[in-house]
Structure 1
Amino acid sequence: MSQDLINPARVDFVTLRLFCAVAQTGSITKGAERCNLALSAASRRISDFEVASRAVLMERTAQGIRLTPAGHVALQHAMRLFQGFELFSNELSEYSSGSRGHVRLWANMSALVEFLPSALERFLHLYPETRVEVEEQLSGDIVRALVEGVADVGIFVEGAPTHGLDVRPFRTDRLVVLCSKAHPLAAVEDTDFRSCLSYDFVGLNRGSSLLNTIAGAAHDIGFPLRLRVQVRSFDAMTEMIASNLGIGVLPLGACYRKLEPMGLKAVRLVDAWAERQLLIATSATRPLSGSATLLVEHLGKPAD
């Protein structure tokens, strides 16, 4: 490294700010006042700055301080440094406040299909510099991911273990029995789950909270659940049900747009468990980033 270069360790932002203030006011006294420094300390800083710069930066005249050509160059660079530092500070502030950042959101299928698209659209309109990475997962996997720090925010159905988590309500979804309009159940507007158990079912794969719910309800009633087809998504369920391969239990919000186009009927379930509470959860031990905090607050607001 050239011996003529200024050692950055000998120049600090207090001195640079003082130098700019003296240059702008034309007075060391006024510059010191602007920077809340004693006059003696300010004079020493200016002198040390000139020594570090290996150049005369200011001329003392009867009218005050006047910059030399080297001083004008120093002032331009000092101003650029302050502008860069201000940008640096503002951008870090955006991350700490949450207007920028990255959030890992894991949600179960019901939340992802019914509620999150519109909620995330509004959030990202407010905070376009925030990236939300969304994954569909089973409720039990979401809980583990939150505890282990793999996910920042999780949404799942009430009933999953929540030890080690901070939890708040998200939305309520209503389960219905979906059937083809050619199915006998299509003749009624509502029914209890017991009356459905004489028919074949289309269900989700093992591990889903919805399958666990209806399997548990069938067990409590004392009737077997006749699962004829198991699939991985609500879309696949509706296709199978439309082909009259069985009936299925789905959230109303996940299927109501498909009722008329696919010749389906949604029959209201009167059982108390058919109204489910979805929860927002975060780790109780890991602090949230600013962007994750903003997302949780946004999702926790009542739907319009």
Structure 2
Amino acid sequence: MKPQINPARIDFVTLKLFCAIAQSGSITKGANECSLALSAASRRISELEETVGLTLLDRSAKGVTLTQAGHAVMQHALRLFQGFEQFSNELGEYAKGIKGHVRLWANMSALTEFLPTSLAGFLKAHPDIQVEVEEQISGDIVKALLDGIADIGVFADGTPTAGLETHIIGQDELVVVCSKSHAIKNRKSISFEECLDYDFVGLNRGSSLLELTSRQAERLSKQMRLRIQVRSYDAMCQMIGVNLGVGILPLQACAPQIKAMDLKVVRLEDTWAKRNLLLATKEHGRQSPACILLIEHLLQKSRS
């Protein structure tokens, strides 16, 4: 049976003291750092161990060291302090006049194509709202929404979205990009299966675009010949430009790089090459007024 721990018996002062002792290796030094008498500090640590029902510190003449349980307590304590610091910072922002905070996670395509103009208009209309934007792959965005780490997600379809409410806010056409000297440079269109005869430049593992193309190759009982993998669309275009392979890229998001590097675009004949861009939130989740305002703005922009 698991020991029943009453959180009300564990306070921030005791956790701060415990971390100070663990980091200094001394109850005396930890007590001094927290401006507590040695006897009071010792009593607090004893009460903490009694509350959790475990020994957290190994005591010796040379000082103290953490037990395995002590390490776990310290890790959780540090996470609590980080969360409290973020909580304090956000309240401080409200005091300075920032009346809303929204956490928006988006994939690379959305960040380079759809969001910049939309966010600029929103922030101009609502200067008191802070939007925290983070670039992530589609699968991680879905998980963050379900876990409550992100408020709004924008990503391409093809990723499981159970537990989310989604809206289509745009389309994203995937094309084959190659150098001016590549064998397919004069093609108007090509099937993905034909592309598999050539070397590829791709994004790093974990990319939703790489997962999509790899999955399509598996359905054809083939494999992509990935010659090189990079972290961004810009880097992909540079590698494609020196003829290291072809790449599958979202046309709208990469149009500036394709034009600047004088690359060739070949249409993909496969139906999956046209993807929907989704705006997602947690199903039945309680959204803040600031979050609702941003959602409505993004949906309105997608319809205009």
**3-state SS of 1:186 partner:** coil
**3-state SS of 1:256 partner:** helix
Matches within 5 A, 1:22-61: none
**3-state SS of 2:184 partner:** helix
User: Does the 8 Å CA contact 1:193/1:271 hold for their aligned counterparts?
Assistant: yes
**Number of equivalent positions:** 207
Q: In the aligned structure 1, how far is the partner of 2:222 from the partner of 2:272?
A: 17
**1:195 and 2:194 are equivalent in the alignment:** yes
1:289 Cα deviation after fit: 0.6
**3-state SS of 2:172 partner:** strand
Q: In the aligned structure 2, how far is the partner of 1:259 from the partner of 1:167?
A: 31
1:195 Cα deviation after fit: 1.4
**3-state SS of 1:198 partner:** coil
User: Does the 8 Å CA contact 1:170/1:277 hold for their aligned counterparts?
Assistant: yes
Matches within 5 A, 1:1-304: 100-301=99-300, 302=302, 304=304
**Change in CA separation of 1:260 and 1:162 when aligned onto 2, cut-off 3 Å:** closer
**Larger-Rg structure:** 1
1:166 Cα deviation after fit: 1.4
1:258 Cα deviation after fit: 2.2
User: Does the 8 Å CA contact 2:234/2:257 hold for their aligned counterparts?
Assistant: no
Q: In the aligned structure 2, how far is the partner of 1:162 from the partner of 1:193?
A: 26
**146-155 or 120-129: which moved more?**
120-129
Q: In the aligned structure 1, how far is the partner of 2:298 from the partner of 2:220?
A: 36
In structure 1, list runs of 5 or more residues that go unmatched: 1-94
1:194 Cα deviation after fit: 1.2
User: Does the 8 Å CA contact 2:237/2:258 hold for their aligned counterparts?
Assistant: no
| 1:3-34 deviation digits (Å, cap 9, x = unpaired) | xxxxxxxxxxxxxxxxxxxxxxxxxxxxxxxx
One-letter amino acid of the structure 1 residue matched with residue 287 of structure 2: L
1:234 Cα deviation after fit: 0.7
Moved over 6 A (4+): none
Q: In the aligned structure 1, how far is the partner of 2:258 from the partner of 2:205?
A: 26
Q: In the aligned structure 1, how far is the partner of 2:288 from the partner of 2:231?
A: 33
Q: In the aligned structure 2, how far is the partner of 1:191 from the partner of 1:262?
A: 21
Q: In the aligned structure 2, how far is the partner of 1:230 from the partner of 1:259?
A: 18
Indicate the RMSD between aligned Cα atoms, in angstroms. 1.5
Please report the TM-score for the alignment, with normalisation by the length of structure 1.
0.65
| 1:37-59 deviation digits (Å, cap 9, x = unpaired) | xxxxxxxxxxxxxxxxxxxxxxx
Q: In the aligned structure 2, how far is the partner of 1:114 from the partner of 1:164?
A: 26
Q: In the aligned structure 1, how far is the partner of 2:261 from the partner of 2:249?
A: 15
Q: In the aligned structure 1, how far is the partner of 2:296 from the partner of 2:99?
A: 15
1:286 Cα deviation after fit: 2.7
One-letter amino acid of the structure 2 residue matched with residue 232 of structure 1: R
Percent identity over the alignment is: 53
1:138 Cα deviation after fit: 1.0
One-letter amino acid of the structure 1 residue matched with residue 112 of structure 2: V
Please report the TM-score for the alignment, with normalisation by the length of structure 2.
0.65
**3-state SS of 1:176 partner:** strand
User: Does the 8 Å CA contact 1:256/1:266 hold for their aligned counterparts?
Assistant: no
